[in-house]
Amino acid sequence: MSYDEVYKLSLEKGFFAPGSEIYSDAPAGFWEYGPLGVSLRNRYVDLWRRELVRRDQMLEIDGSQVMSKSVFKASGHLDGFADPIVACSKCGTIARADRMIAERVRITLSENLADAQYDKLIEENKLTCVNCKGRYGSVRKFNMMFRIGIGPRDEGAYLRPETCQSIFVDYIRLFKTMRAKLPIAFAQFGKSFRNEISPRQGLLRLREFYQAEIEVFFNPEQANIPSKKYDGIRDYAITITREDGSSAKMTCSELVQHGIVLNWLFAYYLALVAKFYSKTGIDMSKARFRELARDERAFYAASAYDFEVKTSIGWLELVACNYRSDYDLSAHAKTSGRSLVVEDDNRKVLPHIFEISMGIDRSLYTILEHSMIKDNGRNLLRLPAYLSPVQVGVFPLVNKNGIRDMAKQIHEGLKLDYDTIYDSAGSIGRRYRRQDELGTPICITVDYASLTDDSVTLRLRDSMGQERIHRNKIGNRISEIISYIA
């Protein structure tokens, strides 16, 4: 299905909506989750916990969204997360100063020049606006972090642009209190904030967004030692696209043997990511890991793979897998003056980090897009049952006293354990179709026969098939249907 159709479903059924929309000065890049969106997201995060956090016995934390200036001084975001930009004094067009100069003067600039040096280059080469030939103003740094002021003195702090910084600053305490041993992964689901110059495509590039990040701390000398843990993924195949554009489906063993993935540890986590997404309903034949070229990588990444999925608007990056080496920990150790070294194998080690950074909002978008189908004119959201926002619909076949009462009673009995909808409006077929559109996997209908033998009809979303079961068995049957696949 297309972006427009997902967007429409979102607005009509209450998955997502633009933020502050009743005000005409509502800023772009902020979206709200409606009831179905929250439910879908919660189930997605539950699956993430199941398939990644618990499977690998990770430690999950929930850090603060506001962090001190020092954190980002150390992390490099104050400098590295800022781009030198220059605006035309006539038409206002904004250009990246470094790229614009490099391209037009045909020189290679060293990184992080002072603003004045860019100004000098622009003047020396008589560079004018690409758009209107107007004169450029002076170069300044545009930082993508939201700065906020704390307390009456307005002390400078920032909204975190990635959740992982919380893990880096908390790690040494966690390592000690949780009796951790390398390698150990920390996980976090939460919000991050980036002041995009111009966010586009509402659900896909937000200024406030959810991430689920996993930071694997390991001893670099131990990363390629085969261990039992990796046995399960040796023959697991993933599609990988190399820097040169070539694509191949290879097993994890092959990836490591051919040096495409640096070590067993990285291969293991790439496989876990692929396994996780294969359970979300995303079409894995449209998914790949893409090796990033040096100039595509984040400033902290020594090697990087993006997990991408093909959607109606092109390949979409859902997960960034970065080898951050000891970049973060040595920077934080240096800036804070604290030792972040731990003991491993009777030696002092500054751990290296492999990161799995998942974009939640765009993952949910992709799941919706891949799940929406038309089945003989029927609008169907074919989500895995364990991700469906509503699990059970309960209907009286007809709105007559005995039947209605029993349907309500059955609904009462289910509503605390599941997300349910009771619906008595319109024909029975209409009510089934309403639930199909939301992805509800199960509908229970109470009819005349129910009054005599306490049985009900259980109707399944995908097959439209019906089962006749005793009302005492409803709970068991629902649990069966919505249980996770092995």
Partner RNA sequence: GCGGGAUUGGUCUAGCCUGGUAGGAUGUCAGCCCCCCAAGCUGAAGGUCUCGGGUUCGAAUCCCGGAUCCCGCACCA
User: By the 8 A CB rule, do 205 and 199 touch?
Assistant: yes
User: By the 8 A CB rule, do 482 and 461 touch?
Assistant: no
Q: Compute the least distance from the CB of residue 230 to RNA, in Å.
A: 28
Separate counts of helices (H) and strands (E) for the chain: 15, 26
Q: What is the C-alpha to C-alpha distance for residues 204 and 311, in angstroms, rounded to an integer? A: 12
- Of 161 and 236, the one with the shorter C-beta distance to RNA is 161
- Of 155 and 243, the one with the shorter C-beta distance to RNA is 243
Strand order in the sheet with 287-291: 59-61, 184-193, 208-218, 352-359, 314-325, 303-311, 287-291, 237-241, 247-251
DSSP 264: H
- Identify the CA nearest to 275 among candidates 39, 55, 46: 55
- Of 219 and 366, the one with the shorter C-beta distance to RNA is 366
- Of 87 and 414, the one with the shorter C-beta distance to RNA is 87
Q: Compute the least distance from the CB of residue 441 to RNA, in Å.
A: 13
Q: What is the C-alpha to C-alpha distance for residues 355 and 185, in angstroms, rounded to an integer? A: 9
- Identify the CA nearest to 219 among candidates 334, 343, 328: 343
- Identify the CA nearest to 118 among candidates 144, 89, 138: 138
- Of 94 and 333, the one with the shorter C-beta distance to RNA is 94
Phi and psi dihedrals of 227, rounded to 5? Answer: -130, 170
Q: What is the C-alpha to C-alpha distance for residues 371 and 436, in angstroms, rounded to an integer? A: 11
Q: Compute the least distance from the CB of residue 175 to RNA, in Å.
A: 25
Q: What is the C-alpha to C-alpha distance for residues 292 and 212, in angstroms, rounded to an integer? A: 21
Q: Compute the least distance from the CB of residue 434 to RNA, in Å.
A: 6
- Of 35 and 92, the one with the shorter C-beta distance to RNA is 92
Q: Compute the least distance from the CB of residue 9 to RNA, in Å.
A: 9
Q: Compute the least distance from the CB of residue 20 to RNA, in Å.
A: 9
One-letter identity of residue 458: L
Query: 474-482 and 401-414 are packed helices; what angle lies between their axes, rounded to 10 degrees?
Result: 50
DSSP 247: E
Binding site for RNA (CB under 7 A): 3, 8, 11-12, 18, 24-29, 77, 80-81, 83, 87, 91-96, 99, 131, 144, 161-162, 194, 196-202, 205, 297-299, 313, 320, 357, 377-379, 397-400, 425-430, 432-434, 445, 447-448, 457, 459, 464-466
- Of 101 and 252, the one with the shorter C-beta distance to RNA is 101
Q: Compute the least distance from the CB of residue 38 to RNA, in Å.
A: 17
Q: Compute the least distance from the CB of residue 213 to RNA, in Å.
A: 10
Q: Compute the least distance from the CB of residue 268 to RNA, in Å.
A: 23
Q: What is the C-alpha to C-alpha distance for residues 148 and 131, in angstroms, rounded to an integer? A: 34
- Of 125 and 224, the one with the shorter C-beta distance to RNA is 125
- Of 233 and 397, the one with the shorter C-beta distance to RNA is 397
Q: Compute the least distance from the CB of residue 235 to RNA, in Å.
A: 32
- Of 58 and 407, the one with the shorter C-beta distance to RNA is 407
Q: What is the C-alpha to C-alpha distance for residues 439 and 36, in angstroms, rounded to an integer? A: 10
Q: Compute the least distance from the CB of residue 169 to RNA, in Å.
A: 18
Give the DSSP H/E element, type plus range, for residue 129: none
| Beta bridge mates, 159 | 66
User: By the 8 A CB rule, do 424 and 450 touch?
Assistant: no
Residue with tokens 């919706």: 368
Give the DSSP H/E element, type plus range, for residue 200: none
Q: Compute the least distance from the CB of residue 465 to RNA, in Å.
A: 6
Dihedral (C-alpha) 408, 412, 413, 419: value to the nearest 10 degrees? 110
Residue with tokens 């089934």: 432
- Of 144 and 262, the one with the shorter C-beta distance to RNA is 144
- Of 131 and 339, the one with the shorter C-beta distance to RNA is 131
First to last CA, the chain: 28
